[in-house]
Structure 1
C-alpha cells in the first residue's frame, strides 16, 4: 500500500485484495463462514465470487495501566485486568488468543486480591475537592459550555492522522507531523462542544468525553513511538529497523503532569527464563 500498489479506499483507507475463490463455496462456508458474512455485510463483496478488500487494523493494546503481578495499580485500592492493564504478559507483541487467557487468569487474580482488600478495609475517604472539580469540568464546562469545534469532525481528523502517520510502519517525519496535528486537535477540541444538553441518555456527551480521552492517549502513543528509536514487536520504525536492547530494553511509563502534559519515565524489563532473541520467521 505504501508503495502505491494497493487499491484506493474511502477516506484514505487503501487496501489490497485477498482472493479466496480457489477454495470454493463449500470450503469457505465450512471453514470461513464468518469471514464471508462480514465481507458481504460490510464490503458488499462475496468472497466466493470475487476478491475481498483487506487492510491491517488496530486490534489490541499491548500497553495499559501499570500493575503488579496480581493486577494491583500504584493507586491503592485499585486493580486492573484484561486489555486495560499492562502486566507485561504479552511483551511488545501479543500472540493470538492470548487475550482470552489474560482475561481469565488475571481476572481471577485481580478479583481475588480486590475482594480480599475490600473485606479487610473500610471504604476509603474520597477527596471531595477532586470529585467536585471533575463534576464541574463535565457538567459546567463541557455540557453547558459551547467552546470547541464539532467533535465528530475532530475525531475523523484524529483517526486519519493516526492511520496515516502512526500505522504499521512509522518514521520520525511522520510521527512528528502526527504529534503536531494531535496537539492542534486538542487545542481545537478545547473543553469539547456538546450539542445535546440533555442530562439523561446523552450519547453526545459520552462521545465528547471519549474523544477527550482518545486525544490524550493518541498524544501519548505518538510521543512514545517518537521517543523509541528502534523497532520492537508491533512497533516498527523504518528509520530504525533493528531492535536496540542496549538502549531500549525497558518499559515506557507515562503519567500526567500538573498541566495535563505527559511525563515520561522508564522501568527495567524483568527477564527470567528466556532472554530476547532475534525473530527469524
Structure 2
C-alpha cells in the first residue's frame, strides 16, 4: 500500500482503504528489537498467537494466554512508531460470550496501545466482532485454516476443497465483513477460492497460504528469515538463513572461549586506559 510518512502511524482505516491497491505488507512481530527492524518496511505488524509456538515452544497456538499476548503486544508497540499493530485475541478469550469478547479486546487495547485486535472465525463469532467494533475497537477477521481450531479439526487441513466448505468460507467472509471488520486474513485456503473471496468482499484480504490475488500478504517472521528449526510450511519463502548464521556464530564463540581467544585485549577493561567505558 502507499504508506504515509514515517512519522505517522498507519491506521486500520488506511488499511481498509488499501483494498485493490498496492498490496499490503504484513509480518508477525513478538519482540521490541524485531519490531524496530521491521517497522519501516511493513504496513502492518501482527502480534500473532503463533508466539506461543515460535517463542514459547508450545505445540499449537492454544498455549497463548491473554497475559502473553499483552506482554508481547507491549514489547512490539515500544519498538514500532509507524506500522499498524494488530494483536491476536487468544483462544478462550472471546468465544464464550459477547461480553467476554469485548472485555478481552478492551483489555488488549488498553494495556498495549495497539490499533486493532484479531479474532478467528466467521459466522460463529460475527456477534463478537460486531460488539467489539461497536465498542470502538477495530477488528481484523481470520477465516480459512484456523490455528486455534486445529485440535477440533484434527490437524492443519487446507480449506476450500469441497463445494460445501467453499460455501462455508464465503459465508464466513461475508459475516466478518458485515460485522464491521476492517480487513480479513485468509489462511491455508485453495488459491482460486481465496482469490474469489477477495473479489467478493469490500474489505482487504491478507493471504497466508492463500492467493497472490489477495490484497496483502503475511508471514511469520521466524519462518521468513529462516529461524524455524522444525518443518517450514509449504507457503513460506525463506528470505534469509538465520538458522545457520546463528549456529555458526555460536560455534565460533564456543571455540574461541574454549581456546581462550575470547575475550581478547579489545574486550576487557584496562586500568591504564581511562577512555574505557
Q: TM-score range with shorter-chain normalisation? A: under 0.3
Which is greater in Rg?
A: 1
Relative CO higher for 1 or 2, CA cutoff 8 Å, sep ≥ 6? 2
TM normalised by structure 2 equals 0.27
TM normalised by structure 1 equals 0.27
